[in-house]
Amino acid sequence: MSNQPSLLQQFQKVRKHSETICAPLGIEDYVVQPIADVSPPKWHLGHTTWFFETFILAPHYQRYQEFDPQYNFVFNSYYETVGARVIRTDRGNLSRPSVSDVYTYRKYVDERMASFLEKEEINSDVADLLILGLNHEQQHQELLLTDIKYILGHNPLFPRFEFSFPLTSRQEEKTIKSIPGGVYEIGFEGSGFCFDNECGRHKVYLDDFQIHTSLVNNSEYLEFIKDGGYKDFRHWHAEGWDWVKTRDASAPLYWHSVDGEWMNYTFDGLKAVDLTEAVCHVNFFEASAFAAWKRMRLPTEAEWEVAAAQLHWGKRWEWTGSAYLPYPKYRRAPGAIGEYNGKFMVNQMVLRGGSVATPEGHSRKTYRNFFHTPHQWQFTGIRLAH
């Protein structure tokens, strides 16, 4: 017999983990939206539930009765195909539905999903949708941790978040790997799940390059700061330099200079910067500027994937020097599911690897994450190449 968990077991495990993440929150923490990029935890819990209701139960479970007709407007994120929605900047204004209402919604949908998965014959298309929904919720689990940290990290009291999973990392021994030039193949292959933006395995030509096996740590980044890295335009892209001047930027997100000492907000509260940890919460501008200061560069996503087996990765999402664009054989899926990745393939940069906040088993070497260049709030770091 196979030891592979059933679809129902996989579903219940993923759904439980989202609520485990939120368990230490106070009610007030669920509804805060300090900036447009941060969604309230309550919204994440509702949106991931809406996904299963909208794409699986409503079209495929004949006995299903919609929980609340207004929730499609409240919890739709960006799916134009599915209809109107609350604009992203207004998610923090949703005092209703209450946190209790959202948990009731989750229970309602979870019970009907269990009935559906136990009693109905699930075809391959629905099974694929379910697996996509689980991976979608795992993405939101990482966003939950990211957004919770931003919410609490901008609370003047710098409160602790009693989360039982390790969110710090220790550096491995630093070495440099030389990768010979040649023709390589990148992109997903084999069985198992992947997102559509990973598909279309194809050939790339790479010149000889060297890549560091470990990430840049706080000690190294502090040297950049002390050397006036944020005050010297020569290290920065023009848009990055504008960002520095507009924000009066001087350090990674969550770093604070207190009485001449650099402090860092963590889920354990405000602590002295741990010099041995991989630097975190830097945007593309900062990563590129640091690399330029070191007279190096960021790896391309193809270089990163080719070298991945020889790298220590998975502690920070790693900025690459590659724009987020479709692979040559990419085909956008029809309908709402086609909106998942394809329409975002502009004005963003690729990140590779995973982070300490990524759910176990969710990432792989072909995974293509992507963010806009000014974003710091994700668990992002720096790897050097030359």
End-to-end CA distance of the chain: 49
Using alpha carbons, list the distances in angstroms from residue 355 to 124, 169, 299.
31, 9, 17
Residue count of the chain? 386
Question: Residue 60 and residue 154: Cα distance in Å, rounded?
Answer: 43
Question: Residue 141 and residue 108: Cα distance in Å, rounded?
Answer: 20
Give the pLDDT score at 370.
96
For the cut 90, the answer to whether the pLDDT of residue 310 exceeds it is yes
Give the pLDDT score at 5.
85
H or E segment at 381? Answer: strand 380-381
Q: What integer is the mean pLDDT of 340-347?
A: 80
Q: What is the CA radius of gyration of the chain?
A: 22
For the cut 80, the answer to whether the pLDDT of residue 245 exceeds it is yes
- With beta carbons less than 8 A apart as the criterion, state whether 215 and 276 touch: no
Give the pLDDT score at 87.
65
Cis status of the peptide bond prior to 97, with omega within 30 of 0? yes
H or E segment at 256? Answer: strand 255-258
Question: Residue 116 and residue 62: Cα distance in Å, rounded?
Answer: 10
For the cut 60, the answer to whether the pLDDT of residue 82 exceeds it is no
Question: Residue 115 and residue 108: Cα distance in Å, rounded?
Answer: 11
Half-sphere exposure of 53 (CA within 13 A, CB side): 24
Q: At what angle do helices 284-293 and 218-226 cross, to 10 degrees?
A: 80
Half-sphere exposure of 272 (CA within 13 A, CB side): 6
CA angle 79, 80, 81 (to 5 degrees): 90
- List, in order, residues 6 or more apart from 85 with CB less than 8 Å away: 72, 73, 74, 75, 76, 77, 78, 79
Residue 1 binned pLDDT confidence (cut-offs 50, 70, 90): very low
Q: What integer is the mean pLDDT of 159-173?
A: 77
**Alpha helices, H only, the chain:** 7-22, 41-52, 58-60, 71-75, 99-119, 124-153, 218-226, 238-247, 284-293, 301-307
Residue 345 binned pLDDT confidence (cut-offs 50, 70, 90): confident
The predicted-structure confidence for 255-270, as pLDDT tens digits, reads as follows 999 999 999 999 999 9
**Cβ atoms < 10 Å from Cβ of 3:** 4
Claim: this prediction has a pTM higher than 0.85: yes
For the cut 60, the answer to whether the pLDDT of residue 80 exceeds it is no
Q: Are strands 317-323 and 349-352 parallel, antiparallel or unpaired?
A: antiparallel
- What residues pair up with 206 in beta bridges, in sequence order? 182
Own/partner pairs, 8-13, CB within 8 angstroms, 24+ separation: 8/113, 8/114, 8/117, 8/118, 10/131, 10/134, 11/110, 11/113, 11/114, 11/117, 11/130, 11/134, 12/110, 12/114
